[in-house]
């Protein structure tokens, strides 16, 4: 059974057209379907879901439609927080922005003197994505019959099972989900093999990279005499360990930067709500971005990004105690 499923919820507008309703009604049905699908996922044992709610490209739509979607998000997502799973909502998102941002974060790390350019690797880039605290999706489902990724999780779905289904999102059924899961199960072994092969190649590349860096260091600081094999081996282990420590320090600094960002965002938008609800001070919205599943923490309302700035990709996690 897949542990993490991603959905491109496509077909709301075509559904509205088909059933002779207004567009907004199509989107509303779409959100209802999302709530329903989350419950099905839970029943099947799928505890993490990522959805493509709104792309940066969708800002091209009419103001009326964009405002309608924002309002819908505002109303509906808070309801979904009561479900016992991880829900990642990609809002004002594109994958290329996410990847470029991850590169930017690593560049920031280099600028701050926390890491070296040679420390940049696939693994590190993955840690700098918004989805760093989630495993890569096992299964990606796109409805409405389109067979493209549309700038969604391009990095993370390289080895995921892609299932394209022709059903329109608001008409999605439990059987459609089962069909997708079946396809995942049939591809599972091949995908596992491909993933393992890739991981092996990565390990080799990292080893090679560490070895090259070590050679450079020895050349610079050495006395010209070649090193003994054992000494070199020790030096390599030492270099690898220091690189890992450097990278960890950088990731901690990055986490701190992100937490501060969300805390600022929380305090800006939640002041009124805090008073109205009378709850204890909400902890960070992105409870997931820090250490794994903090038990007992409930995320507050998702951050709404009404600001159409292209490089503000929001990823909001709603984590609830599963026990």
Residue 115: CB partners within 8 Å, gap ≥ 6?
A: 106, 109, 124, 246, 247, 250
Three-class SS state of 279: coil
Among 60, 225, 292, 309, interactor with other proteins by CB under 8 A: 60
Question: Rounded to the nearest whole angstrom, what is the least distance from the CB of residue 28 to other proteins in the complex?
Answer: 20
If one asks whether residue 157 binds other proteins (CB under 8 A), the answer comes out as: yes
If one asks whether residue 94 binds other proteins (CB under 8 A), the answer comes out as: yes
Question: Rounded to the nearest whole angstrom, what is the least distance from the CB of residue 41 to other proteins in the complex?
Answer: 16
If one asks whether residue 57 binds other proteins (CB under 8 A), the answer comes out as: yes
Q: Is the CB of 3 or the CB of 61 nearer to other proteins? A: 61
Q: Is the CB of 187 or the CB of 255 nearer to other proteins? A: 187
Pairing of strands 86-93, 314-318: antiparallel
Q: What is the DSSP letter of 129?
A: S
Closest by CA to 53, choosing from 247, 313, 319, is 313
Q: Is the CB of 31 or the CB of 54 nearer to other proteins? A: 54
Among 99, 218, 235, 293, interactor with other proteins by CB under 8 A: 99
Among 164, 269, 294, 297, interactor with other proteins by CB under 8 A: 164
If one asks whether residue 167 binds other proteins (CB under 8 A), the answer comes out as: no
Answer for the pair 64, 13: CB distance below 8 angstroms, yes or no. no
If one asks whether residue 37 binds other proteins (CB under 8 A), the answer comes out as: no
Residue 298: CB partners within 8 Å, gap ≥ 6?
A: 81, 282, 283, 319, 320, 321
If one asks whether residue 18 binds other proteins (CB under 8 A), the answer comes out as: no
Q: Is the CB of 40 or the CB of 108 nearer to other proteins? A: 108
Torsion of CA 240, 205, 95, 146, to 10 degrees: -150
If one asks whether residue 53 binds other proteins (CB under 8 A), the answer comes out as: no
Q: Is the CB of 95 or the CB of 176 nearer to other proteins? A: 95
Query: Which residues within the stretch 173-202 sit at the binding site for other proteins (CB under 8 A)?
Result: 178, 182-183, 185-187, 190-191, 194, 197-198, 201
If one asks whether residue 121 binds other proteins (CB under 8 A), the answer comes out as: yes
Q: Give the whole-angstrom CA distance, residue 137 versus residue 125.
A: 16
Q: Give the whole-angstrom CA distance, residue 155 versus residue 130.
A: 11
Taking every pair of Cα atoms in the chain, the longest distance, rounded to a whole number of angstroms, is 81
Among 150, 215, 240, 290, interactor with other proteins by CB under 8 A: 150
Q: Give the whole-angstrom CA distance, residue 243 versus residue 208.
A: 14
If one asks whether residue 63 binds other proteins (CB under 8 A), the answer comes out as: no
Q: Give the whole-angstrom CA distance, residue 103 versus residue 312.
A: 15
If one asks whether residue 207 binds other proteins (CB under 8 A), the answer comes out as: no
Closest by CA to 30, choosing from 165, 163, 141, 172, is 172
| Site residues (vs other proteins, CB under 8 A) | 55-61, 94-97, 99-100, 103-104, 106-108, 110-111, 116-118, 120-122, 125, 146-151, 154-155, 157-164, 178, 182-183, 185-187, 190-191, 194, 197-198, 201, 205, 311
């Amino acid at each position: 059974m897949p542990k993490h499923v991603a959905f491109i919820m496509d077909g709301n507008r075509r559904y509205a057209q088909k059933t002779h309703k207004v567009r907004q009604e199509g989107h509303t049905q779409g959100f209802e379907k999302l709530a329903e699908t989350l419950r099905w996922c839970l029943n099947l044992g799928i505890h993490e879901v990522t959805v493509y709610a709104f792309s940066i490209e969708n800002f091209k739509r009419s103001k009326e439609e964009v405002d309608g979607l924002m309002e819908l998000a505002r109303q509906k997502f808070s309801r979904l927080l009561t479900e016992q799973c991880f829900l990642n909502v990609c809002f004002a998102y594109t994958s290329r922005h996410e990847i470029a941002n991850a590169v930017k974060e690593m560049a920031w790390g280099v600028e701050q003197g926390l890491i070296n350019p040679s420390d940049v690797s696939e693994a590190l880039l993955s840690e700098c994505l918004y989805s760093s605290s989630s495993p890569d999706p096992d299964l990606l489902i796109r409805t409405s019959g389109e067979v493209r990724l549309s700038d969604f999780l391009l990095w993370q779905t390289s080895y995921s099972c892609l299932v394209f289904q022709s059903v329109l999102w608001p008409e999605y059924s439990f059987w459609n989900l089962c069909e997708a899961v079946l396809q995942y199960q049939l591809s599972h072994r091949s995908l596992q093999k491909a993933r393992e092969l890739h991981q092996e190649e990565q390990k080799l590349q990292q080893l090679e990279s560490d070895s090259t860096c070590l050679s450079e260091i020895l050349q610079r600081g050495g006395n010209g005499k070649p090193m003994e094999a054992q000494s070199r081996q020790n030096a390599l282990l030492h270099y690898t360990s220091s690189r890992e420590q450097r990278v960890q320090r950088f990731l901690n600094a990055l986490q701190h930067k992100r937490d501060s960002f969300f805390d600022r965002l929380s305090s800006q938008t939640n002041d009124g709500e805090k008073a109205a609800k009378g709850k204890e001070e909400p902890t960070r919205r992105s409870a997931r971005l820090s250490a794994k599943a903090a038990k007992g923490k409930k995320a507050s309302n998702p951050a709404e990004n009404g600001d159409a700035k292209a490089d503000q990709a929001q990823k909001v996690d709603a984590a609830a105690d599963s026990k």
